Amino acid sequence: MGKQATIDRVEERRAELETLAGELWENPELGLQEEESAERIVHTLEDRGFRVETGVGGMPTAFVGEIGTGSPCVGILGEYDALPGLSQEVSAVREPVENGRPGHGCGHNLLGTAGVGAVLALAEAIEAGTLEGTLRFYGCPAEEQLVGKVYMARDGAFDDLDAALTWHPSDLTRPTRDRSLALDSIVYRFEGESAHAAASPEAGRSALDAVQLLNTGVEYLREHVPEAARVHYSIQDGGDAPNVVPPSASVWYYVRSPERSQVEAISDWLDDIAEGAAIMTQTEVSRQYLTGCYDYRPNGTITDVITKNLHEVEPVAFAEEDRSFAEALQASLDPGEIDSSLEKLTDEDRAAVDGHAVYANPVEATNAGEAGGGSTDVGDVSWITPTGQFRATTYPVGTPGHTWQAVAANGSFGVKGMVFAAKVLAASAYDLLADPQLLGEAAAEFARTGNDYECSVPGGIEPPFDVWEQ
């Protein structure tokens, strides 16, 4: 069963894949709570003869499905978690399905499903004996909290891979050659003494004061961190009433920078500031390290394979109704968002994309080699095995992720981009499994860039199941 026949197998499953993506979209579940989504995918793989291990990395919603045996071993990474508060109908105006409920604003309903589509097609080529080796689907929970792959990596889940592939829903189709920021996610909790804030304030010790002083200290820290570093926080608990001195308060920090070592240095300094804030307020501080991820390091060889397939697989032919819905969604965006998406493109790509509400043809990678604004736990995988990823069009040009417009698109015409992505994943994994020389080149490149990965989460720390209750 050749490569084209494998791609055709994805096409034959289009209806099945669109149904799966739709089911995940209609039942958006937050990170580490995505039980039904994970179960649905596990059953799909088991029905098809995959051996599935669940509970990977100590997380009930993490799993690895495997088919075939021996070397080489190629993995496709999938995600299926949603974002809080983004519930949205398939509508061009803000219209939650249910106020305050989660929504698939990052398109992980599509991300996971495309990986499933690819491995189901590739499984047939393995069973037919055309491809040799082991193929895996990694069910990675809680990407939005940068948790799933980190804890799976700590468990050694990616150690014996020869290559990993993934993709991400986006406003344009392109290979990913930019890097992401390494990150630490830490909660600081302060404990003080409650007292009547007017009658006996001298008896109180305010935990909220400590949070305020920590945050103020961080404003002075900012001057002395690398320019690309980002430090941001949200106050999880700031006390209950003005007339009660807050006996407890907590703040959740993200520290990001292009290099893992920079993140660690900033986090150490943050710990010192938190200690200082506790001393100044005569409160006690405790620190909960939730997770920490590496910067994403694209493997050039794997990304070249993906790029070739992005051009070879037939692009999505969006229908007139897709275009008009995309136009209506685009009209609700800040025009600055569309400009900033176009700005990053080459002159030629910009001229081709400009004026289209939705654009399927592949464009060149943007910001190659540069560290972008976000973080992903795919970073950890890229430090363990040669890794490549791409973006595929599932929402209108200029739509930022984590928006209601992205939810609406990912629940409608985005499924067409998902099927395209499944074909590109299948084609790229096919190339790698069929050509040991390509994997050899990827491994040589990986060895040159160094592979001194050490999971940032120490042993003994449990995955942060209470992250949404922080």
Backbone angles phi, psi at 115, to 5 degrees: -65, -40
- If the CB atoms of residues 146 and 157 are measured against Zn ion, the closer one turns out to be 146
Q: Which stretch binds Zn ion (CB under 5 A): 103-111, 232-240, 281-289, 454-462?
A: 103-111
Helices (H), 65-162: 108-127, 148-154
Output the six-digit token pair for 302: 């794997």
Which residue is listed with tokens 């043809």? 361
Q: At what angle do helices 3-12 and 414-434 cross, to 10 degrees?
A: 150
Q: Which stretch binds Zn ion (CB under 5 A): 23-31, 105-113, 125-133, 200-208?
A: 105-113
Which residue is listed with tokens 């710990």? 271
- If the CB atoms of residues 144 and 441 are measured against Zn ion, the closer one turns out to be 144
- If the CB atoms of residues 1 and 106 are measured against Zn ion, the closer one turns out to be 106
The continuous run of DSSP H or E covering 461 comes out as none
Q: Please work out, in degrees rounded to the nearest 5, the angle formed at the alpha carbon of residue 461 by the alpha carbons of 457 and 463.
A: 85
- Residue 407 contacts Zn ion per CB under 5 A: no
> Shortest Cβ distance from residue 143 to Zn ion (Å)?
6
Q: Pick left, alpha or beta for residue 129 (phi over 0 → left; psi -120 to 50 → alpha; otherwise beta).
A: left
Q: How far apart are CA 243 and CA 206, in angstroms?
A: 12
Closest residue to Zn ion, judged by C-beta, is 106
The residue type found at 420 is F
Residue from 24, 59, 83, 106 touching Zn ion (CB under 5 A): that is 106
The number of residues in the chain equals 470
Beta strands 248-257 and 182-191, pairing class? antiparallel
Q: How far apart are CA 461 and CA 463, in angstroms?
A: 7
**Among 32, 48, 33, which Cα is nearest to 116's?**
48
The residue type found at 444 is A
Q: How far apart are CA 209 and CA 49, in angstroms?
A: 57
- If the CB atoms of residues 106 and 409 are measured against Zn ion, the closer one turns out to be 106
Q: How far apart are CA 157 and CA 145, in angstroms?
A: 19
**What DSSP letter does each residue of 55-83 carry, written as one string?**
SGGG-TT-EEEEEEESS-EEEEEEE--BB
Beta strands 174-175 and 133-140, pairing class? unpaired
Q: Which stretch binds Zn ion (CB under 5 A): 101-109, 264-272, 293-301, 431-439?
A: 101-109
Q: Count residues binding Zn ion (CB under 5 A).
A: 1
| 253: Cβ contacts below 8 Å, ≥ 6 apart | 184, 185, 186, 187, 188, 218, 231, 232, 233, 270
> Shortest Cβ distance from residue 378 to Zn ion (Å)?
10
> Shortest Cβ distance from residue 125 to Zn ion (Å)?
29
> Shortest Cβ distance from residue 272 to Zn ion (Å)?
33
Largest CA distance in the chain: 81
> Shortest Cβ distance from residue 81 to Zn ion (Å)?
9
161 and 58 in contact (C-beta within 8 Å)?
no
Which residue is listed with tokens 């070249």? 304
Q: At what angle do helices 14-26 and 414-434 cross, to 10 degrees?
A: 120
Q: Which stretch binds Zn ion (CB under 5 A): 98-106, 228-236, 286-294, 383-391?
A: 98-106
Q: How far apart are CA 232 and CA 218, in angstroms?
A: 9
Residues that bind Zn ion (CB under 5 A): 106
